[in-house]
Structure 1
Amino acid sequence: MSDTQRDILSTCFSLAIIALAAFISQRFFLPVVWAGILCIATWPMYARLLRACKGQALLAALAATVISALMFIVPLAVALTEAAREGPALAALVADANNNGLAAPAWLQHLPLAGPAIEEWWTTTLGQPHGIAHLLQDGSVARLKSASEVLRNVGAHLMHRLIDIGFAFVTLFFFYKDGLALVRQVGAIGSHCVGRVRWNLYATKVPTAVRATVNGLVLVGLAEGVLLGIVYAFAGVPSAALWGAATGILAIIPFGAPVAFLAVAGVLIVGGHMVAAIVVIAAGTVVLFIADHFVRPTIIGNATALPFLAVLFGILGGVETLGLVGLFIGPVVMTLFVTLWHEENLFGPGVKPGQ
Structure 2
Amino acid sequence: MKENQRDALSACFSLALVLATLFVTQRFLLPLLWAAILCIATWPLYRRMVSVTGGREVIAALLATVVAALVFVTPLALGVAQAAHQAPALAQFIASANTDGLAPPDWVARIPFAGAEIQEWWLATLGQPHGLAHLLHGSSVAHLQSASEVLKRTGAGLLHRLIDVGFAILCLFFFYKDGNALQRQVNAIGAHLIGEVRWTLYALKVPVAVRATVNGLVLVGLAEGVLLGIGYQLAGVPSAVLWAAATGVLAIIPFGAPLAFGAVALLLLAKGATVAAIAIAAWGAVILFVADHAVRPAMIGNATKLPFLAVLIGILGGVETLGLIGLFVGPVVMTLFVTLWHEERHLRHPLS
TM-score using structure 2 length: 0.96
Residue number in structure 2 paired with 1:175: 175
Quote the Cα distance in structure 2 between the aligned partners of 1:138 and 1:246.
25
Residue number in structure 2 paired with 1:144: 144
User: What is the identity, as a one-letter code, of the residue corresponding to 2:275?
Assistant: V
User: What is the identity, as a one-letter code, of the residue corresponding to 1:284?
Assistant: G
Which residues in structure 2 correspond to 1:39-78 (within 5 Å)? 39-78=39-78
Residue number in structure 1 paired with 2:278: 278
User: What is the identity, as a one-letter code, of the residue corresponding to 2:80?
Assistant: L
Quote the Cα distance in structure 1 between the aligned partners of 2:73 and 2:342.
41
Residue 341 to residue 267, structure 1, CA distance change in 2 (3 Å): same
SS for the counterpart of 2:42 is helix
Which residues in structure 2 correspond to 1:245-264 (within 5 Å)? 245-264=245-264
Cα deviation for residue 269 of structure 1 reads 2.0
User: What is the identity, as a one-letter code, of the residue corresponding to 1:308?
Assistant: F
Residue number in structure 2 paired with 1:222: 222
SS for the counterpart of 2:171 is helix
Which residues in structure 2 correspond to 1:106-255 (within 5 Å)? 106-255=106-255
SS for the counterpart of 1:338 is helix
Residue number in structure 1 paired with 2:9: 9
Quote the Cα distance in structure 2 between the aligned partners of 1:54 and 1:231.
44
Q: Percent identity?
A: 66
Aligned Cα RMSD in Å?
1.4
User: What is the identity, as a one-letter code, of the residue corresponding to 2:296?
Assistant: R
Residue number in structure 2 paired with 1:90: 90
Quote the Cα distance in structure 2 between the aligned partners of 1:136 and 1:334.
34
- Dislocated runs of 4+, deviation >4 Å: none
Cα deviation for residue 108 of structure 1 reads 2.3
List alignment gaps of at least 5 residues for structure 1. Answer: none
Quote the Cα distance in structure 2 between the aligned partners of 1:165 and 1:112.
44
TM-score using structure 1 length: 0.95
User: What is the identity, as a one-letter code, of the residue corresponding to 2:36?
Assistant: G
User: What is the identity, as a one-letter code, of the residue corresponding to 1:290?
Assistant: V
User: What is the identity, as a one-letter code, of the residue corresponding to 2:263?
Assistant: A
Quote the Cα distance in structure 2 between the aligned partners of 1:112 and 1:303.
44
Cα deviation for residue 348 of structure 1 reads 2.4
Cα deviation for residue 327 of structure 1 reads 0.3
Quote the Cα distance in structure 1 between the aligned partners of 2:113 and 2:261.
23
User: What is the identity, as a one-letter code, of the residue corresponding to 1:135?
Assistant: L
Residue number in structure 2 paired with 1:267: 267
User: What is the identity, as a one-letter code, of the residue corresponding to 2:299?
Assistant: I
User: What is the identity, as a one-letter code, of the residue corresponding to 2:176?
Assistant: Y
Quote the Cα distance in structure 2 between the aligned partners of 1:100 and 1:265.
27
List alignment gaps of at least 5 residues for structure 2. Answer: none
Cα deviation for residue 139 of structure 1 reads 4.1
User: What is the identity, as a one-letter code, of the residue corresponding to 2:306?
Assistant: L
